[in-house]
Structure 1
Amino acid sequence: MVMNAMRGSLGALAIAALLAGCASGVKLNETPVETRTPGADANAGAGAGAGAGAGAAPQSQVTTVSVDPNAAAAGAQRIVYFDFDSFVVKDEYRPVVEGQARRLNGDRARRVSVEGHTDERGGREYNLALGQKRAEAVVRSMSLLGVAANQMEPVSFGEERPAVQGSDEGAWARNRRVEIKDR
C-alpha cells in the first residue's frame, strides 16, 4: 500500500516536472534573429552602405530555410536516452522531442511508433513496463507540443532489442532509450 502511494507521488512529481519543463515565456514567432554572415560585425558601426560598392544594392542577411518536413527528417534526431530506472525525459533531449513534434505537426498524415527500450537489468515484466512508461513520457511531451494522439503509438520492447551488446555502463546507457520510427 505504501509502495503504491509512493509510486503515485513519484508519478505526479514526474508529470509536474515535465509540464514545468515544457513551459516557456518565449513565443517562437517573437524570437530575435541574429546575423550569422561572416564578417558582418566588422562594419556594424560604420553606417548604412559602409563596405558596399557605389550604387550596390544592400545584401540580404536572411538565410533560406527548408520547411519540408521530409527533408528535415533525414537529419533529425530520433532517439531519447534515459537515466537508470527512470522514465523522465531529460532537458538535453527536449530538442529531439521538439524536432519530432514539429515534423509531425507539419504533416498530420504522418504516423510514428514510439518504441521504449531498457537495459538488461531487471526482470522481463518490469523492463516491459519501464519501456512503456518511457515511450508514453515521450508521447505525452509531443502531445503537449500539439501532436495529435492518433499520430503516435507508444510500444515497449523492454530489454528484447538492445542497441548494443554488452554488460557495462556504456552498453546499458545506449540501451536505455526511446526510438521514434515512422510507420
Structure 2
Amino acid sequence: MRSDLIKWAFSVLALVLVAGCSSTPEKDESASAGAEVSEQSTGAGRASYGGASTAAASQGMAWNGDPLDNPQSLLSTRVIYFDFDQSQVRSEFRDVLSAHADYLASHPQVSLRLEGHADERGTREYNLGLGEHRANAVRQLLMAEGVDTNQLIVISYGEERPASFANNEEAWALNRRVELVY
C-alpha cells in the first residue's frame, strides 16, 4: 500500500513539473507595442519587413545591402515576359537584363538559373522547346553583355509550372516567361 502511495506521489510530482515547464513563452507586451509603432511609423511609400525598411531607397538614399535585394533596382525584376508563341525578348526588358548582366559581370562567383516557361496551349513537347528557346534568348543577351557562360544555367519547364492556373489571356500572359533565379 505504501509503495502505491509513493508511486502516486511521484506521478503527481512529475505531472506538476511537466505542466510547469510549458514551452509557450510569455508574451512581451513591450515588444509587441514596439512592433506596432514601427509598422505605424513606416508611412506611405515605405515598407517594413522584419526590421528592414525600404525607407532609404524610397527617399533616394544609398542602398547599403546586397544589390539583388534593393526593391528600387532593376535587379529586383526577376521575371521576363514573352509574347504568344515568341522567344524574342521584348524591348521593355532590355534594361533589366543589362542590369543583371552588369551585376553578374562584377560578381563572377554568382550563377544564375534561367527557367523558361510557356502557357498551356500547344503540346507538352512544343512548350518544353519554347521554354528552352526563351531561356536561351535571355542567355544570349546576357552573354552579349559580358556574362560568362559558366555563370548561366538554362532549364525549361514548359507548361509544367504555371504562375497562374486560370484559363484566360491574362493567365497565359503570366505563364509565358523566363524566371531569373540566383
Pairwise TM-score range, normalised by the shorter structure:
0.5 to 0.7
SS of residue paired to 2:127: helix
Q: Deviations over 1:125-160 (max 9, x none)?
A: 000000000000000000000000000011100000
> Does the 8 Å contact 1:79/1:96 carry over to 2?
no
SS of residue paired to 2:170: helix
The residue number in structure 2 matching 1:129 is 129
Counterpart mapping for 1:100-119 below 5 A:
100-119=100-119
Counterpart mapping for 1:19-58 below 5 A:
none
The residue number in structure 2 matching 1:73 is 68
> Does the 8 Å contact 1:97/1:142 carry over to 2?
yes
Q: Deviations over 1:54-97 (max 9, x none)?
A: xxxxxxxxx8755x7x6221132111000000000010011221
Letter in 1 for 2:153: E
Q: CA RMSD in A?
A: 1.5
The residue number in structure 2 matching 1:39 is none
Residues 171 and 155 (structure 1 numbering): CA distance in 2 closer, same or farther, change over 3 Å?
Answer: same
Q: Distance in 2 between matches of 1:142 and 1:90?
A: 14
Q: Distance in 1 between matches of 2:61 and 2:167?
A: 46
The residue number in structure 1 matching 2:83 is 83
How far did residue 108 of structure 1 move? 0.4
Quick one: percent identity of the two aligned structures?
42
Q: Distance in 2 between matches of 1:101 and 1:165?
A: 31
SS of residue paired to 1:128: helix
> Does the 8 Å contact 1:78/1:100 carry over to 2?
no
SS of residue paired to 1:116: strand
Letter in 2 for 1:94: R
> Does the 8 Å contact 1:128/1:159 carry over to 2?
yes
Higher relative contact order (CA 8 A, sep 6+): 1
Q: Distance in 1 between matches of 2:83 and 2:149?
A: 26
Q: Distance in 1 between matches of 2:61 and 2:106?
A: 18
TM-score by length of 2: 0.62
> Does the 8 Å contact 1:119/1:176 carry over to 2?
yes
Runs of 4+ in 1 over 6 A off after TM superposition: none
Larger Rg belongs to: 2
The residue number in structure 1 matching 2:142 is 142
Unaligned runs of 5+ in 2: 1-59
Q: Deviations over 1:22-81 (max 9, x none)?
A: xxxxxxxxxxxxxxxxxxxxxxxxxxxxxxxxxxxxxxxxx8755x7x622113211100
Unaligned runs of 5+ in 1: 1-62
Q: Distance in 2 between matches of 1:72 and 1:83?
A: 29
The residue number in structure 2 matching 1:167 is 167
